[in-house]
Amino acid sequence: MSDHPFTKTFPVSWWELHRDSRALAWRLMERGPFQGVVAITRGGLVPAAVVARELEIRTIDTICIASYDDKKQGELTVLKGVPGDGEGWVVVDDLVDTGKTYRKVREMLPKAHFATVYAKPAGRPLVDSYVTEVSQDTWILFPWDAEMQEVAPIARR
């Protein structure tokens, strides 16, 4: 028995992630202005850099959180927080899945605007702005977790 609920994979290339992060920036333009970006490490770092560049924001802080070990969700550990209640800040992460991470960050920054590039249904109510929804049983494969490799023809798989 698998120890995770994912039956499909949705691979995302660097180019697609850049395009989707820019689409998020367009959406955030209508919701700002923001005084700074809070990136949720580590997955939020790349989209946060793209959003900050597009919104011309140079003030960037991090909340450092760990919860998944490969595809298995474990205890959530906050390694580093930020001061304040989040007013005027936009929080950026790569995705919301169960919503556990953003539920915790909302407790820490109740007045912030919450953004992700991708959202699954269980976590969507915790996000104010996102770009693309994927089903709950899909694993989003990010470019930093992947490499190019040979595959067999479909007919032989």
Ligand X SMILES: O=P(O)(O)OC[C@H]1O[C@H](OP(=O)(O)OP(=O)(O)O)[C@H](O)[C@@H]1O
**Does 140 belong to an annotated binding site?**
yes
Which of ligand X, ligand HPA, Mg ion, none binds 24 (CB below 5-8 Å, type-dependent)?
Answer: none
From residue 78, give the alpha-carbon distance in Å to each of 9, 68, 74: 28, 13, 13
Least separation in angstroms between residue 102's CB and ligand HPA is 11
Handedness of CA 92, 139, 11, 70 (dihedral sign): positive
The binding track of 79-98 with respect to ligand HPA, each residue x by CB under 6 A or -, is ----------------x-x-
Produce one character per residue of 4-23: b if its CB has 16 or more CB atoms within 10 Å, e if not.
eeeeeeeebeeeebeebbbe
Give the contact letters, 29-48, x = binds to Mg ion (CB under 5 A), - = no. Answer: --------------x-----
CB neighbour class for 73 (10 Å; exposed up to 12, middle 13-18, buried from 19): middle
Question: From residue 129, how far is each of 90, 123, 149, 152 by CA, in Å?
Answer: 10, 12, 34, 39
CB-CB contact of 28 with 130 (8 Å):
no
Catalytic residue status for 94: yes
Q: What's the min distance (Å) between Cβ of 122 and ligand X?
A: 8
Least distance between ligand X and beta carbon 128 (Å)? 15
Q: Residue 66 binds which entry of ligand X, Mg ion, ligand HPA, none, with Cβ cut-offs from 5 to 8 Å by kind?
A: ligand X
Sole window of 13-21, 81-89, 105-113, 138-146 interacting with ligand HPA (rule: CB under 6 A): 138-146
Binding-site positions read 42-43, 93-101, 139-140
Binding footprint of ligand HPA on the chain (CB under 6 A) = 68, 95, 97, 139-140, 142
Binding footprint of Mg ion on the chain (CB under 5 A) = 43
